[in-house]
């Protein structure tokens, strides 16, 4: 079936048909396609149509993987629309924690949840799980409903509760049947979770087309799953948890661990630790398998489980955290570092297995709004020799964006003074006064956001201001979003790479300008040094660009494009930091962002004038 018939809408936007066709050709063949399309262009619908047409023609399935729940939700919305036009089976899967009905009986911290579920299942303590094979036709009906209808998450939970089955098991069985399966990165790239989808679910990678959304996040994601940190305070907390659950032996072993690690790490002069000699020290002092046994005991934690049930205590999370760290410490490969009272284990080459993983699939499509420069992008994912092809959707003519780089301010650490924050706030307030439209302000961190939010509030008291705070739940984030939308000309403060700078769409009616304040370069750390050293050894010429500058710029550009959501969109972007003023940065900008670019050290009055002039001209 042609891609046109697999497209959910009546007509294509500029560039969508070409992208769909390119994806179709890549998926019908084999190999890896890197595709760049700006945010809001409608790439999900285009990619789905191309991938689905190829999947049906070749007898394959599509696995569409996203970083966040919000992105999964968007893909599911597009699939539901497409299913109405042409029925096919599709399912999506979140983490087990999101589905669990048993945990309603007692609070379970997310970090202990994997263990909590497997403990209850393996000891026959979860009736929702035990009931799955006993409800026969009822279960079949639920699974069929899950693949053919766009059922909401809460509807699935309600239906599962009434049948008394685990909703995660319903979803897992639906994924087996689905032609398009949507899942978070974990189920594809984390070997521990991938078994659920590909082994237990008998989904054959060789007969699956993989689509990776927002693929510029992959390196960070892979670094996260292969790295671990542990502080001495956490080890002390684990001792207290073990004592509270009357796990006397484990508490004694944890005290020994604390003492041996303290001697090996605290007095060590360099940030780089010799992991092998630390393992040898444990072998010499405690015997060959002591550390591995302790890691197993703490991770399995069955004594703690029974203890927490018997004494109605909170499940231990620090005991599990120490167990996880020790398991990684004993495994092959990681580099060990330290800083302050923290130990870190890092895989200095987190993308080393990515090419092999992608090549297990029939074909792979990696999507991003910011691939430029594609050679660095490929190298940052370890795909330089993988024979990838690249496709860029040209969209700069579809939008009208004026970009102002203000080089008179900066959020460099050494320049973060009250005077600098006041200067930044004066400029933000000037832009806000210069437009009646909504404004998004995206800071590099919560601390910078907090500092400028209070100052801007005093300067533009007549405007409705809302802000993102750290650790918002989904409901709290929805409330902030609704509050921003409730009043015309509101100002939303968020952080770059946060919930609002990458997870939400702001259309023309509610946001007309974005101010990106500062560049969120990662702070220097031993974890970063170790990765730099690995790239240097491999002969990488652009390690600073790859690990620091480019990720920071991507966050800035993603935030800048938040309000550019459709063809014909008009808007302004203000980049407030001297570090945006360089030819290197301009060359790295997406074309829509640099097509009308003005650079200077502007006074608040001239910024207000520029904003007024732009909107007056546009009216
Ligand atoms: S099997 Fe399902 S309901 Fe039972 S503990 Fe695990 S996730 Fe929760």
Residue 260 near residue 285, CB atoms below 8 Å: yes
Per-residue pLDDT, 617 = 65
Of 98, 118, 128, the residue with max ligand 1 atoms within 8 A of its CB, to mutate for a pocket test, comes to: 128
Closest CA to ligand 1's atom 8: 100
Atom of ligand 1 nearest to the CA of 103: 8
Q: What does the pLDDT average to over 129-141? A: 91
Tell how far the Cα of 149 is from the centroid of ligand 1, in angstroms.
24
Q: What are phi and psi of 332, to 5 degrees?
A: -75, 140
Is there an atom of ligand 1 within 6 Å of 403 CB? no
Residue 357 has pLDDT above 70, yes or no: yes
Q: Is residue 93 situated within a structural domain?
A: no
How much is the pLDDT for 313? Answer: 67
Pull the structure tokens for residue 215.
Answer: 């693929």
> How many Cβ atoms from other residues are within 10 Å of residue 618's Cβ?
12
**Which sign, positive or negative, has the C-alpha torsion 430, 433, 434, 437?**
positive
For the chain, what percent of residues have pLDDT higher than 70? Answer: 94
Shared domain for 354 and 407, answered yes or no, is no
CB of 120 within 6 A of ligand 1: the answer is yes
> What is the residue range of 18's domain?
1-88+179-219+350-394
Question: Quick one: pLDDT at residue 484?
Answer: 92
Q: Out of 41-55, 162-176, 192-206, which region has the weakest mean confidence (pLDDT)?
A: 192-206
200 and 236 within one domain? no
pLDDT, average across residues 566-586? 89
| Pocket lining: 484 vs ligand 1, CB cutoff 6 Å | no
Indicate whether 553 and 592 sit together in one domain: yes
The predicted-structure confidence for 320-340, as pLDDT tens digits, reads as follows 899 989 999 988 878 899 988
Which ligand 1 atom minimizes the distance to the CA of 118? Answer: 6
> What is the pLDDT at residue 118?
85
Q: State whether 62 and 120 are in the same domain.
A: no
CA of 111 to the centre of ligand 1 (A): 15
- The answer to whether the CB of 96 is under 6 A from ligand 1 is yes
Any idea what the CATH number is for the domain that residue 411 is in?
3.40.50.300
| Alpha carbon of 515 to ligand 1 centroid (Å) | 44
> E strands along 303-455, which residues?
335-339, 342-346, 363-368, 389-392, 400-406, 439-443
Specify whether 287 is located in the same domain as 274: yes
Cβ neighbours for 473, distance < 8 A, ≥ 6 positions apart: none
Residues 407 and 492 in one domain: yes
Lowest mean pLDDT among 95-99, 268-272, 281-285: 268-272
Q: Are residues 403 and 478 in the same domain?
A: yes
pLDDT tens for residues 375-428? 888 999 999 887 788 888 876 556 788 999 999 999 998 999 999 999 999 999
pLDDT value of residue 507: 60
Q: Do 152 and 203 belong together in one domain?
A: no
Within a domain: residue 194? yes
In this prediction, residues 177-184 reach a mean pLDDT of 94
pLDDT digits (tens, 9 = 90+) for 363-379: 999 998 888 788 888 99
Joined together, the tokens standing for residue 65 give 């993987």
469 and 580 part of one domain: yes
DSSP single-letter state for residue 260: H
Residues ≥6 apart with Cβ < 8 Å to 332: none
Let me know whether 487 and 590 are in one domain.
yes
150 and 293 both lie in a single domain: no
Mean pLDDT of 312-326: 83
Could you say which of 279, 311, 346 is where a domain stops? 346
- Alpha helices (H) in 514-603, listed in sequence order: 526-537, 543-544, 550-560, 583-588, 591-594
Which has the higher per-residue pLDDT, 107 or 161? 161
d(CA 100, ligand 1 centre) in Å: 5
- Per residue, what are the HEC states of 274-318? CHHHHHHHHHHHHCCCHHHHHHHHHHHCHHHHHHHHHCCCCCCCH
Dist. CA 126 → ligand 1 center (Å): 6
Residue 448 pLDDT grade (very low, low, confident, very high; cuts 50, 70, 90): very high
In short, whether 100's Cβ falls inside 6 Å of ligand 1 is yes
* Residue 170 Cβ contacting ligand 1 at under 6 Å: no
Average pLDDT, the chain: 89
Max CA separation in the chain (angstroms): 78
DSSP 463-478: S-EEE--TT--HHHHH
The protein residue whose alpha carbon is closest to atom 6 in ligand 1 is: 117
Q: Which of 363, 394, 425 is the last residue of a domain?
A: 394
Nearest of 88, 169, 87, 95 to residue 126 by alpha carbon = 169
Tens digit of pLDDT for each residue in 449-468? 999 999 999 999 889 999 99
Q: Whose CA is nearest to atom 7 of ligand 1?
A: 100
166 lines ligand 1 (CB under 6 A): yes
Q: How far apart are CA 474 and CA 480, in angstroms?
A: 10
Model pLDDT, residue 508: 53
Pairs from 428-431 (Cβ < 8 Å, separation ≥ 24): 428/452, 428/456, 428/459, 428/515, 428/517, 428/576, 429/456, 429/459, 429/460, 429/604, 430/604, 430/605, 430/607, 430/608, 430/611, 431/513, 431/515, 431/572, 431/574, 431/607, 431/608, 431/611
Whether residue 372 contacts residue 549, with contact meaning beta carbons closer than 8 Å, is answered with no
Question: Does 398 or 246 have the greater pLDDT score?
Answer: 246
H or E segment and range at residue 183:
strand 180-184
For residue 35, what are its two tokens? 């595709």
Residue 529 has pLDDT above 90, yes or no: no
Based on the fold, state whether residues 468 and 593 are members of the same structural domain.
yes
The SS3 of residue 403 is strand
Question: Ligand 1 in contact with 101 (CB < 6 A)?
Answer: yes
Of the candidates 365, 380, 359, the one whose C-alpha atom is nearest the C-alpha of residue 216 is 380
We report the CATH number of the domain holding residue 251 as 1.10.275.40
Q: How far apart are CA 564 and CA 511, in angstroms?
A: 9
Nearest atom within ligand 1 for CA of residue 121: 1
Q: Does the beta carbon of 386 lie inside 6 Å of ligand 1?
A: no
Asked whether the predicted pLDDT for residue 355 surpasses 90, the reply is yes
């Amino acid at each position: 079936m042609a891609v046109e018939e697999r497209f959910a809408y009546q007509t294509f936007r500029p560039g969508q048909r070409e992208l769909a066709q390119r994806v179709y050709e890549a998926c019908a063949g084999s190999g890896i396609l890197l595709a760049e399309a700006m945010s809001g262009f409608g790439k999900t619908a285009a990619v789905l149509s191309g991938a689905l047409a190829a999947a049906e023609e070749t007898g394959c399935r599509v696995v569409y993987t996203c970083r966040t729940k919000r992105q999964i939700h968007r893909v599911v919305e597009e699939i539901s629309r497409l299913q109405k036009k042409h029925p096919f089976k599709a399912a999506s899967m979140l983490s087990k924690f999101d589905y669990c009905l048993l945990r309603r009986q007692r609070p379970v911290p997310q970090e202990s949840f994997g263990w909590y579920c497997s403990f209850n299942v393996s000891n026959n303590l979860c009736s929702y799980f035990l009931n799955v094979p006993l409800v026969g036709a009822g279960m079949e009906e639920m699974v069929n409903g899950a693949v053919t209808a766009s059922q909401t998450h809460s509807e699935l939970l309600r239906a599962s509760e009434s049948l008394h089955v685990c909703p995660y098991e319903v979803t897992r069985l639906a994924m087996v049947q689905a032609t398009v399966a949507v899942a978070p990165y974990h189920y594809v790239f984390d070997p521990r979770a991938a078994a659920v989808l590909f082994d237990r679910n008998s989904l054959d990678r060789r007969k699956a087309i993989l689509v990776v959304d927002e693929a510029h996040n992959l390196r960070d994601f892979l670094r996260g799953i292969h790295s671990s940190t542990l502080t001495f305070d956490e080890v002390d907390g684990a001792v207290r948890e073990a004592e509270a659950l009357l796990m006397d032996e484990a508490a004694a072993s944890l005290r020994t661990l604390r003492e041996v690690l303290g001697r090996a790490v605290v007095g060590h002069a360099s940030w780089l630790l010799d992991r092998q000699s630390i393992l040898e020290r444990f072998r010499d002092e405690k015997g060959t398998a002591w550390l591995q046994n302790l890691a197993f005991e703490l991770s399995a934690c069955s004594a703690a489980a029974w203890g927490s049930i018997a004494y109605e205590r909170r499940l231990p999370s620090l005991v599990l955290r120490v167990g996880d760290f020790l398991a990684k410490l004993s495994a092959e490969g990681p580099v060990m570092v330290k800083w302050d009272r923290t130990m870190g284990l890092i895989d200095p080459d987190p993308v080393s297995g990515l090419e092999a993983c992608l090549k297990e699939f029939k074909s792979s499509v990696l999507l991003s709004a910011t691939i430029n420069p594609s050679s660095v992008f490929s190298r940052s994912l370890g795909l330089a020799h993988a024979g990838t092809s690249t496709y860029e959707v040209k969209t700069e003519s579809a939008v009208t964006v004026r970009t102002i780089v203000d080089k008179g301010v900066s959020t460099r650490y050494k320049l973060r003074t009250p005077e600098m924050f006041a200067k930044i706030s004066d400029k933000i307030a000037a832009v806000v006064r210069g437009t009646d439209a909504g404004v998004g302000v995206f800071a590099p961190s919560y601390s910078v956001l907090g500092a400028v939010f209070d100052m801007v509030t005093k300067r533009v008291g007549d405007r409705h201001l809302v802000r993102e705070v750290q650790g918002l739940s989904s409901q709290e984030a929805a409330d902030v979003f609704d509050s921003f939308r409730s009043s015309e000309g509101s100002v939303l403060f968020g952080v770059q790479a946060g919930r609002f700078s990458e997870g939400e769409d702001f259309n023309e009616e509610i946001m007309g300008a974005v101010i990106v304040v500062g560049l969120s370069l990662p702070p220097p750390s031993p974890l970063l040094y170790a990765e730099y050293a690995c790239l240097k050894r491999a002969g990488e010429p652009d390690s600073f660009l790859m690990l620091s500058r480019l990720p920071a710029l991507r966050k800035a550009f993603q935030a800048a494009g938040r309000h550019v959501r459709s063809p014909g969109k008009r808007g302004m972007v203000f980049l407030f930091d001297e570090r945006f003023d360089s030819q290197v940065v301009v060359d790295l900008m997406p074309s829509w962002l640099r097509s009308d670019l003005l650079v200077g050290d502007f006074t608040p009055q001239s910024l207000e004038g520029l904003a007024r002039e732009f909107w007056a001209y546009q009216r």
